[in-house]
Amino acid sequence: MATKTSIDASEVRERLLSYAKMEAEKIVREAEEEAKRIIESAEREWLRRYQDYRAREMKVIRDKASQIESEARLKARLLISKTKEEVIEGLFKEVEKALAKRDFDVEKSLEVLLTKSLRELASPPKKVRVSSKDVELAENVLRKMGMEGVLVEGDPSTVGGVVVEGEGGGIVDNSYETRLRILKERFLDRIRSILWEGLEA
């Protein structure tokens, strides 16, 4: 059953990355076209001013034109960068939705995360906090592990996973939300590389 959970999670990531990459390329192309229009508009403005001013004012005009074009290029870069970040945020929102659907072996997931949490905890477990939907499943897992005395609390604010509190006061947070946040922080550069490979920055 552990292998099936891993494969399901991998397939979800691959499908989401593939979908996000296609959408990202479309959105970025549109952003690049908008950036091109911005730059062309700046160049037309420069030409208009160029024709209006006398020869002795050419240096002033060139400086101003350069400034306008630089500002336009900066605006274009910011537009593309903002679009890319919005795509990445959308990708993680899709991951959150996939987790909320719970289309996987939740009990096995709890067992894996509980085992991981217990290895990281410095003292015996006192309390386990899970999604309100998972209280009974968590109690079953703890019973199988011979830990019937551990208190299980339901938390309606979490999608899933576990937060384990030890008798010594230590806490190990393996909730889905925390694990997703850590995943984002750790692999954000890699995700950017996968999504924008072959595209201009």
Q: Between these two residues, 87 and 139, which has the higher pLDDT value?
A: 139
How many whole angstroms separate alpha carbon 139 and alpha carbon 129?
Answer: 11
Q: Does domain 106-179 have CATH number 3.30.2320.30?
A: yes
31: region left, alpha or beta (phi > 0 left; psi from -120 to 50 alpha): alpha
At 169, give phi and psi (nearest 5°): 100, -10
CA distances from 121 to 118, 126, 182 (A): 5, 11, 18
Which residues pair with residue 129 across a beta bridge? 153, 163
**Is 91's pLDDT higher than 60?**
yes
Cα-only R_g, the chain: 26
- Give the strand pairing for 125-131 and 151-155: parallel
pTM exceeding 0.75:
no
One-letter amino acid for residue 1 of the chain = M
At 156, give phi and psi (nearest 5°): -70, -10
One-letter amino acid for residue 141 of the chain = V
Dmax over CA atoms of the chain, in Å, equals: 90
Domain definitions of the chain by residue range: 2-102, 106-179
pLDDT at position 5: 45
* Full DSSP string of 131-184: EGGGHHHHHHHHHHTT-TTSEEEEETT--SEEEEEETTS-EEEEEHHHHHHHHH
Q: Between these two residues, 116 and 36, which has the higher pLDDT value?
A: 116
pLDDT tens, 39-77?
Answer: 888 888 877 766 666 666 777 778 888 888 899 889 888
- HSE value, Cβ hemisphere, 13 Å, CA-based, for 43: 7
Q: Between these two residues, 69 and 3, which has the higher pLDDT value?
A: 69
How many whole angstroms separate alpha carbon 15 and alpha carbon 13?
Answer: 6
